[in-house]
Amino acid sequence: MLAQYKKLLPQLEWLLQTAYDRLESIIRQQGIYVTAIEGRVKKEESLKGKLELKGSKYSCLEDITDLVGLRVITFYNDDVDKVAALVNRIFEIDWSHSVDKRKLHELNSFGYNSLHYVCRLPRQLVKDTEIANLRFELQMRTALQHAWSTIEHDIGYKFDIKIPREHLRQFNRLAGMLELVDDEFSRLRNVVAGYRRKVQGFVKSGQFDEVPLSVKTYRSYLELRPLDRLNQRIAAVNQAELFAASLLPFFDLLQSFGFKTLGDVQRFIADNSDDAYKLAIIQLAATDLDILSESIGMQNLCFVYVLKQGRGVEGVKFVYDMLNPRQASNAYLAEMLVKHAVALPFAQRYKDD
């Protein structure tokens, strides 16, 4: 069998690469995030040792299922089952030799967990009759299961001694803890996913006070285009075109205002839009600008907000500094804006206060 193995080594490498490519492709297409996909062809010394130890079990090379081995390591238990479903679509599974070791433990035992499939490539992919019937092994496990397997192998099999019973008990206790952590990570992911869907529902239904302000919720809020009306009013001053611009740079600024929910942001827009528009009229009336950034509405809202707080030039410069850090012109721009804005009723009122 060793002579046959050496002869088939190039085909075994082809089998490994083909199986790996199909596996990696479908996992990527389905958007499943895995920590690793590994593969190997069994080394000659390893095969020789296997035959010396268990040679009577094998009548030919086709009886050995692990000449080629692959492993998929996921973050979550749920994803192990998702990967298994994909594997069932792209490979032929030898169910009589496949095993789910996660289900083999007794109620009071813990230890090595992994899903093991013995597979073949679909017949139509294999033109070489010499390897048409060769099988390969595929292990699917979580990162914690993989870590446990590696540590257990290092401690349990590296030294040719029998491990005392008290140490085996400690092994089982640690295995139980890892199994619990694995389950809790999966449960927590499902809880967070449920919360995310709930928050997205609040955003879509306009229940903004129920939604904490975060980068993700703010991004979802912006998808509703809450500033379109203000931007269009401002653009109409000079019959200008609006070009797309991200409003994500304003997130830190909104947080600095003390806003905690999307409801705070919504009220900020509603309470200050008219004054932001009036500020834009002063800014644009004496210009012929015919192209404006979609950020102008949010920027003017921020200017109006700090002016209403009585923060004057310092407040406007703070807005400029947050949006355009370390620009020498920020102080001058702030002074000019306040000089023009002071004529507006809202600025007069807060100035007098």
Question: How confident is the model over 75-114, as pLDDT tens digits?
Answer: 998 999 999 999 999 999 999 999 987 776 654 444 567 8
147-156, 170-179, 201-210, 320-329: segment of lowest average pLDDT: 147-156
Q: What is the pLDDT of residues 226-269, one digit of tens each?
A: 999 999 999 999 889 999 999 999 999 999 999 999 999 999 99
Give CA 73 to chain center in angstroms: 16
Report the C-alpha gap between 80 and 83 in whole angstroms.
Answer: 5
Name the pTM for this structure: 0.61
Q: Is the pLDDT of residue 147 over 80?
A: yes
Confirm if 321 and 330 have CB atoms less than 8 A apart: yes
β-pairing, 136-142 with 68-74? parallel
Write the pLDDT tens digit of every residue in 21-72.
999 999 999 999 999 999 999 998 888 888 888 767 888 888 899 999 999 9
Q: What is the per-residue pLDDT for 204?
A: 79
* Domain 2-143 -> CATH class: alpha beta
pLDDT > 80? residue 351:
no
In the chain, where the domains are located? 2-143, 227-352
Percent of the chain at pLDDT above 90? 53
- What is the structure's pLDDT at 157? 53
* Arithmetic mean of pLDDT, 341-345: 86
Residues 303-311: what's their mean pLDDT?
Answer: 93
Positive/negative CA dihedral, 316, 321, 323, 324: positive
Q: Is the pLDDT of residue 177 over 90?
A: no
Contact 68, 14 (CB under 8 A): no
- What is the mean predicted confidence (pLDDT) over 116-138? 87
- pLDDT at position 352 is 45
The whole-angstrom separation of Cα 112 and Cα 157 is: 14
Which residues are within 8 A (CB) of 190 and not within 5 positions of it... i.e. 6 or more apart?
Answer: 78
pLDDT of residue 155: 67
